[in-house]
């Protein structure tokens, strides 16, 4: 058996291995600035020569990593070092969930530089058909399994929106790997998938909003004042539940919006709003000041009844013992009240789209409405005011505020 021939001209560090095949090395600079040999291997001299030339080219253009982590290990590090210090708690929790339940199980063991576009495409295709209740063991964790753990698959496949978000998280993590110079391309960005079309719920009409508020008022619903602010000012659920009395000036008739309340990883957090544009000093229309005045008196009675059990945290909307209202509980109560009022059951956030129409019906001055709606030009607000509202509905809403005022 003849010995492998020696190096050809220009092949430099390519050599035959004693165990068979060929190897080569190139002196590279790592991302940390250290000079080190990086090896490539192959079954033939031609194969190694091609890899060796490619490595030379990479080393001449940018630092080269010699030890690469798995995708799962890298994403966990990225979550800890990049996302956690710079993002909101809810965003961190969301990224962590997608990495743990959607990305890592299928792709986490792959070395980050070995991940290919077809791997990402197969993963996305699999998400469209795999039951996530089975894959994540959701039913197995229940005290009393009712579907997948009993071999009765519920076919809980991921929605198009969930799949798109999982892909977005992977693409964002790999973009950071490119910046870290661990890989030369983002393979997730080379894969295409349909844009998820969000479901748009139909908002309430002004008459439906009036019926909802009337039903809450007549039932003595403790959330009535919150519902008024939510519908008239267009506040988000988190903004509404984060309000403290120090943010409200009933004498002047203003409220400062600058905080939000969120349940994240088992903790209830009051934190600043997501963007600076969300912060605003809003004027309170009469129906809002009246509802808040009545609620403040009712809350004082609750405080007196609770005695030492009262938590003096200054929140506007509280439980019977002064604690902030849980966002999920508020959402549940809102849907229950909508059902009792005989109006369509929608998400709390959808009520924001009814706000402008209600301001018209309440005969709020256009300049005040402009502040509440946060329009930069009065012409935009006037376009909304050109929409007609029935005299009956307008009179009913105004009467609702006047009737409540008689109870102060």
Q: In DSSP terms, which residues pair with 38 in a beta bridge?
A: 26
pTM: 0.70
User: What CATH code would you report for 71-190?
Assistant: 1.10.150.130
**Bigger pLDDT: 225 vs 68:** 225
How far the first Cα of the chain sits from its last, in Å, is: 105
Mean pLDDT calculated for residue range 380-397:
56
| Residue 154 in tokens | 């519920």
Same CATH fold assignment for domains 71-190 and 206-405: no
| Residue 65 in tokens | 């990593």
Checking 272-278 for CB contacts under 8 A at 24+ apart, the result is 273/239, 274/88, 277/374, 278/239
Chain position carrying tokens 């792709």: 107
Mean pLDDT over all residues of the chain? 84
> Minimal CA–CA distance to 202: which of 353, 357, 340, 388?
353
* pLDDT category of residue 2 using cuts at 50, 70 and 90: very low
Rounded Cα distance between 218 and 138, Å, is 41
User: What CATH code would you report for 206-405?
Assistant: 1.10.443.10
H-state helical runs in 21-137: 45-61, 71-78, 84-86, 89-98, 104-107, 117-129, 132-135
Q: What was the pLDDT predicted at 9?
A: 43
DSSP letters for 338-389: HHHHTS----GGGGGGGHHHHHHHTT--HHHHHHHHT-SSHHHHHHHHTS--
Question: Looking at the predicted structure, is the pLDDT value of residue 399 above 80?
Answer: no
Q: What was the pLDDT predicted at 7?
A: 47
**Among 18-22, 115-119, 120-124, 355-359, where is mean pLDDT lowest?**
355-359
**Domain definitions of the chain by residue range:** 15-61, 71-190, 206-405
**Among 32-36, 126-130, 358-362, 403-407, where is mean pLDDT lowest?**
403-407
**Among 3-7, 160-164, 381-385, where is mean pLDDT lowest?**
3-7
pLDDT tens, 315-332?
999 999 999 999 999 999
Q: What was the pLDDT predicted at 18?
A: 80
Question: Looking at the predicted structure, is the pLDDT value of residue 268 above 70?
Answer: yes
> Minimal CA–CA distance to 213: which of 407, 406, 403, 385?
403
Q: What was the pLDDT predicted at 4?
A: 46
Rounded Cα distance between 339 and 328, Å, is 17
pLDDT tens, 16-75?
888 888 888 888 887 777 887 877 778 888 888 888 888 788 778 777 766 788 999 999
Cα angle 237, 243, 249; round to 5: 130
């Amino acid at each position: 058996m003849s010995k492998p021939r020696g190096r050809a001209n220009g092949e430099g560090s390519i050599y035959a291995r004693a165990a068979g095949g060929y190897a080569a090395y190139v002196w590279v600079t790592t991302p940390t600035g250290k000079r080190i040999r990086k090896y490539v291997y192959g079954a033939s001299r031609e194969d190694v020569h091609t890899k060796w030339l490619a490595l030379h080219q990479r080393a001449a253009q940018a630092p080269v990593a010699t030890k690469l982590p798995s995708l799962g290990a890298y994403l966990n590090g990225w979550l800890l070092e990049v996302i956690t210090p710079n993002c909101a708690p809810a965003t961190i929790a969301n990224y962590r969930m997608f990495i743990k339940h959607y990305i890592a199980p299928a792709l986490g063991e792959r070395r980050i530089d070995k991940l290919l576009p077809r791997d990402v495409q197969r993963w996305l295709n699999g998400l469209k058909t795999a039951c996530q209740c089975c894959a994540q063991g959701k039913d197995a964790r229940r005290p009393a399994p009712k579907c997948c753990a009993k071999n009765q698959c519920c076919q809980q496949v991921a929605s198009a929106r969930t799949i798109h978000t999982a892909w977005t998280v992977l693409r964002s993590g790999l973009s950071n790997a490119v910046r870290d110079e661990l890989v030369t391309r983002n393979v997730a960005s080379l894969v295409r998938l349909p844009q998820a079309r969000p479901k748009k719920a139909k908002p309430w009409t002004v008459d439906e909003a009036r019926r909802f508020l009337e039903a809450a008022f007549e039932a003595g619903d403790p959330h009535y004042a919150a519902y008024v602010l939510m519908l008239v000012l267009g506040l988000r659920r988190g903004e509404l539940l984060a309000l403290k009395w120090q943010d409200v000036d009933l004498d002047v008739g203003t409220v400062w919006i600058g905080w939000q309340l969120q349940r994240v990883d088992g903790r209830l957090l009051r934190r600043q709003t997501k963007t600076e544009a969300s912060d605003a000093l809003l004027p309170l229309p009469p129906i809002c000041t009246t509802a808040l005045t009545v609620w403040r008196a009712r809350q004082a009675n609750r405080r007196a009844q609770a005695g030492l059990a009262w938590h003096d945290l200054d929140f506007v909307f509280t439980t019977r013992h002064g604690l902030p209202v849980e966002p999920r509980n508020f959402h549940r109560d809102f849907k229950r009240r909508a059902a009792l009022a005989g109006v369509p059951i929608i998400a709390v956030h959808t009520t924001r789209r009814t706000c402008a129409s209600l301001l018209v019906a309440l005969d709020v001055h256009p300049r005040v409405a402009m502040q509440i709606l946060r329009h930069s030009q009065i012409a935009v607000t006037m376009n909304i005011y050109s929409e007609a509202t029935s005299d009956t509905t307008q009179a009913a809403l105004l009467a609702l505020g006047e009737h409540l005022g008689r109870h102060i």
